[in-house]
Each structure stands twice: as structure tokens, then as C-alpha cells.
Amino acid sequence: MKVLVTGGAGFIGSHVVDLLLQAGHSVAVVDNLHTGKRRNLNPQAAFHQVDLRDLARLDAVFEQEGIQAILHQAALANVRESMQDPVTYTEVNVIGTLNLLELARQHGVQKIVFASTGGAVYGEGHTDQGSRLPFTEASWPQPRDNYGANKLSCEYHLDLYQANYGIPCVSLRYPNVYGPRQDDKGEAGVVAIFAGAMLRNEPTRITGDGAQMRDFTYVEDIARANLLALEKEVTGIFNVGTGVPTDINTIHRVLAELTGYTLEPAYVPRPVGEVYATYLDSSKAQQELGWEPRVSLREGLRRTVEWMRAHLDEL
Ligand SMILES: NC(=O)c1ccc[n+]([C@@H]2O[C@H](COP(=O)([O-])OP(=O)(O)OC[C@H]3O[C@@H](n4cnc5c(N)ncnc54)[C@H](O)[C@@H]3O)[C@@H](O)[C@H]2O)c1
């Protein structure tokens, strides 16, 4: 298929591009390089430096490339920034997604896969069974920031385009994704931030007591979920996480072992609104997509450290 990957110069998008090409698909990338990097671009994919908000230029890409499917990874994804600038976030994340949906309708696109988020969509949510964790797709969405509200809004837009225009759509709710090419200067991405600091022997900081739990899932597993969502005849919302909660102190300790880091972390107050614990039940993805994570946490952290060590000068 001719697949458009938005955000293909970014961390997750670039792994999605690599896997699609390996699987024999033809790929075009749209990215405005806001956080994406040229060095992440796979030379076998056609690259268009276009902003999601620029409908006319996006339309030209669809026309020129004959796009048949969209894997939509591009977004502004900084939770704190989304609270400071909700309008820009909504323009990029929601209007940008609507631009793609309109073009999908006009150009006869056969599949759309959307990068959603478990962490920000579920928030501190609850389930109708009363037990909160792990979150299932039936858990009540409770975004507590504009980024999460943007993502949930996009999921609804996908659903209504599917219902009204018959375009098969999948929303994948990602957990905390980590791996090679993640930005170690970002707001989130604790694995990259710790590993980068440790390899430079710089101090590290943990917010709160470090007992907060997250579902750390390796980026190649997330890329494979995208490929399966593209190729299988499935639609709807899927969690794609390991289901294993890991606390931040453990991440720090394992990365310290892998990098030979001996300094103690500084503990600083937790930011207001930070979710305390989130991890995802992905049995629906296992049953309907045939997806399950393959890379263990320790192996994934080892690969990430190895990659960061080799690329430290470029980061
Ligand atoms: N990293 C995670 O743990 C995580 C968790 C949940 C969801 N997600 C989602 O996964 C997707 C990829 O995230 P990532 O971690 O790879 O982040 P990233 O910042 O590396 O990738 C996002 C890409 O989108 C591009 N982009 C941003 N604004 C754009 C615009 N207006 N027009 C065109 N391109 C634009 C950026 O340049 C970048 O290449 C995002 O949609 C994000 O919300 C990520």
C-alpha cells in the first residue's frame, strides 16, 4: 500500500516508517520538523516538509503520492505546554487531524490509524466495574490536560468519519513509549532523560517519591501494533501496553546499572496534575490484532542505552 506516515521524522513515527518499508509498503512522510529530525528520516520514504495545518499543501501530497492509508503519528505532545497554549495545540492536534480526515474522504483512503494516548486520555479515570487499574478500553476517559482532550476529540472524529463515510479507523492508545531516537531533552520520556543524563554523568531528578507507576513499552512493539492495525481488518480503539506497572525508582536503578552511574537522584515535588499511576490492559489488542509486546523492559532499556551511547554527540 502507499502509506502516509505523519510525524515520520519523530521518535515513534520514524520506527513506524522503518517497519512499513521492511514489510514491503511504500511510504510518504509528512512532518514539519517541529520536534522531528532529518536524521530520523528513512531515505527510502518520500519526505514532504509540510505542516498539518496547511490543507492546500497536504492536499497536494495526497494528489502526488496517491495515498491509500494514513498512519497519523504527528502531534504536539507536551502536556505542560498544552496547558499554556491550548489554541495552538488544538489547531495542530485536532484541526490537523480533521484536515487529514477530510482529505482521506476526498481521496478514497482505505485505512486510518491514529496515535492516541492511554496516559492522557484515561487520566486518573475509573471503570464501570469500580476498579481503576489497569485501564481497559471500557474505562471512563477523563483527560485532565488539553493534550489528552485533543487526543480524545480526535478519536471521536475518527469514529464519526468511519460511521458516516465508511473509512475504517483505528485508534491506538499508547502507554509510555521508550527506545532509540527518543528526545532526551523533552518534557516526558523519562527513560531517555535519565539515560542521557547518566551517560553524561549529570545529576538526575525524580518528581515525588518515585513510586509513581507507568507502563513502559518498547518503541518497536508500538511500531508493530501500527503495522497490524493497518493490515488487519479491524477498527476501533485498542490499548497497546505491556500491562506491567513499573515505578520510576526502578527505571532509575536499572538504567544506573546499565550505564555505570553512581550518583543518587534528587527528589523534587511532583507537578500539579501529574497522574500517579497508569498502565494498560491490552487483551483486546492481543485477541483482535494478534499483538503482544515482545521486548522485555530490561532488554529494551539495554538497547536504548546502547543506542544513546553511540549517538550521544548528536543528541
Ligand atoms: N512517546 C510517547 O510515550 C507517547 C505516548 C502516547 C502517545 N504518543 C503519541 O505518539 C505520537 C508520536 O510521538 P513521539 O513521542 O514520537 O513524539 P515526536 O515529537 O518525536 O513526534 C511527533 C512528530 O510530529 C511532528 N509534528 C508536530 N507538529 C506538526 C505539524 N503541525 N505538522 C507536521 N508535523 C508535525 C514533529 O516534528 C515530530 O516529528 C504523537 O501523536 C504522540 O502524541 C506518544
What's the CA-to-centroid distance between 21 and ligand 1, angstroms?
A: 20
What's the CA-to-centroid distance between 223 and ligand 1, angstroms?
A: 13
Q: Are residues 141 and 196 in the same domain?
A: no
313 confidence band (pLDDT: 50, 70, 90): confident
What's the CA-to-centroid distance between 153 and ligand 1, angstroms?
A: 16
Q: Are residues 6 and 42 in the same domain?
A: yes
Q: Which pLDDT score is estimated for 22?
A: 98
How far is Cα 12 from Cα 20, in angstroms, rounded to an integer? 12
Q: Are residues 262 and 225 in the same domain?
A: no
Q: Are residues 49 and 157 in the same domain?
A: yes
How far is Cα 139 from Cα 132, in angstroms, rounded to an integer? 8
How far is Cα 106 from Cα 69, in angstroms, rounded to an integer? 13
Please check the confidence at residue 84 and state whether its pLDDT lies above 60.
yes
What's the CA-to-centroid distance between 88 and ligand 1, angstroms?
A: 14
Residues 6+ positions from 240 with CB-CB distance below 8 Å: 172, 173, 174, 175, 217, 221, 222, 225, 280, 282, 285, 291
DSSP 8-state code for residue 277? B
What's the CA-to-centroid distance between 269 and ligand 1, angstroms?
A: 27
What is the per-residue pLDDT across 240-250, written as a single tens digit (0 to 9) for each? 999 999 999 99
Is the distance from CB of 112 to CB of 102 less than 8 angstroms? no
How far is Cα 309 from Cα 201, in angstroms, rounded to an integer? 12
DSSP 8-state code for residue 107? T
Containing domain of residue 309, as a range? 190-211+245-277+304-314
Residue 36 lies in a domain: yes
Residue 238 lies in a domain: yes
Q: Are residues 198 and 120 in the same domain?
A: no
Domain total for the chain?
2
What is the per-residue pLDDT across 144-172, written as a single tens digit (0 to 9) for each? 899 999 999 999 999 999 999 999 999 99
> CB-based burial of residue 205 (10 Å sphere; 0-12 exposed, 13-18 middle, 19+ buried)?
exposed
Residues 6+ positions from 202 with CB-CB distance below 8 Å: none
Question: Which of the two residues, 79 and 273, has the higher pLDDT score?
Answer: 79
Residues acting as catalytic residues: 147
Q: What is the CATH number of the domain that holds 253?
A: 3.90.25.10
- Out of 5, 29, 32, give the residue to mutate to test ligand 1, the one with the largest number of ligand atoms within 8 Å of its CB: 32
Q: Are residues 226 and 251 in the same domain?
A: no
Residue 299 lies in a domain: no
E strand segments, 11-149: 26-30, 46-48, 69-72, 111-117
Q: Which pLDDT score is estimated for 273?
A: 72
Ligand 1: which residue has its CA nearest to atom 34?
A: 31
DSSP 8-state code for residue 178? E
Report the DSSP pairing between strands 213-214 and 246-247: antiparallel
All 3 cell numbers of residue 268? 523534587
Q: CB within 6 Å of ligand 1 — which residues?
A: 7, 9-13, 30-36, 51-53, 73-77, 92, 96, 115, 117, 174, 176-177
Residue 18 lies in a domain: yes
Please check the confidence at residue 195 and state whether its pLDDT lies above 70.
yes
- Out of 15, 35, 47, 170, give the residue to mutate to test ligand 1, the one with the largest number of ligand atoms within 8 Å of its CB: 35
Q: What are the φ/ψ torsions at residue 314 (nearest 5 degrees)?
A: -90, -15
Please check the confidence at residue 103 and state whether its pLDDT lies above 60.
yes
What's the CA-to-centroid distance between 6 and ligand 1, angstroms?
A: 9
Q: What is the CATH number of the domain that holds 230?
A: 3.40.50.720
Q: Output the CA torsion 71→76→82→87 (10° steps).
A: -90
Residue 184 lies in a domain: no
Please check the confidence at residue 236 and state whether its pLDDT lies above 80.
yes
Q: Cα dihedral sign for 302, 181, 311, 186? A: negative
196 confidence band (pLDDT: 50, 70, 90): very high
Ligand 1 atom with the smallest distance to the CA of 52 is: 32
What's the average model confidence in pLDDT over 72-80? Answer: 96
Q: Are residues 106 and 225 in the same domain?
A: yes
Q: Are residues 202 and 231 in the same domain?
A: no
Q: Which pLDDT score is estimated for 277?
A: 87
Average pLDDT along the chain: 95
Q: Which residues pair with 177 in a beta bridge?
A: 217
Please check the confidence at residue 125 and state whether its pLDDT lies above 90.
no
Q: Which residues pair with 40 in a beta bridge?
A: none
Q: Are residues 128 and 195 in the same domain?
A: no
132 confidence band (pLDDT: 50, 70, 90): confident
Q: Which among 115, 96, 2 has a CA at the least distance from the CA of 50? A: 96
What spatial distance separates the first Cα and last Cα of the chain, rounded to whole Å? Answer: 33
Report the DSSP pairing between strands 216-218 and 111-117: unpaired
Ligand 1 atom with the smallest distance to the CA of 9 is: 39
All 3 cell numbers of residue 230? 493497518
Q: Which pLDDT score is estimated for 130?
A: 53
Q: Are residues 198 and 143 in the same domain?
A: no
Q: Which among 160, 32, 145 has a CA at the least distance from the CA of 96? A: 32
Is the distance from CB of 226 to CB of 21 less than 8 angstroms? no
> CB-based burial of residue 274 (10 Å sphere; 0-12 exposed, 13-18 middle, 19+ buried)?
middle
Residue 196 lies in a domain: yes
How far is Cα 194 from Cα 185, in angstroms, rounded to an integer? 10
Ligand 1 atom with the smallest distance to the CA of 72 is: 41
What is the per-residue pLDDT across 273-307, written as a single tens digit (0 to 9) for each? 778 889 999 999 999 999 999 999 999 999 999 99
Residue 14 lies in a domain: yes
Please check the confidence at residue 108 and state whether its pLDDT lies above 90.
yes
Residue 185 lies in a domain: no
Q: Which pLDDT score is estimated for 126?
A: 56
What is the per-residue pLDDT across 37-51, written as a single tens digit (0 to 9) for each? 999 999 999 999 999
The reply to whether the predicted model has a pTM over 0.85 is yes
173 confidence band (pLDDT: 50, 70, 90): very high
- Out of 4, 16, 31, 183, give the residue to mutate to test ligand 1, the one with the largest number of ligand atoms within 8 Å of its CB: 31
- Within its chain, how far is the Cα of 138 from the centroid? 20
DSSP 8-state code for residue 11? H
- Within its chain, how far is the Cα of 24 from the centroid? 23
Q: Are residues 225 and 308 in the same domain?
A: no
Q: Are residues 107 and 119 in the same domain?
A: yes
Ligand 1: which residue has its CA nearest to atom 24?
A: 74
Ligand 1: which residue has its CA nearest to atom 13?
A: 12
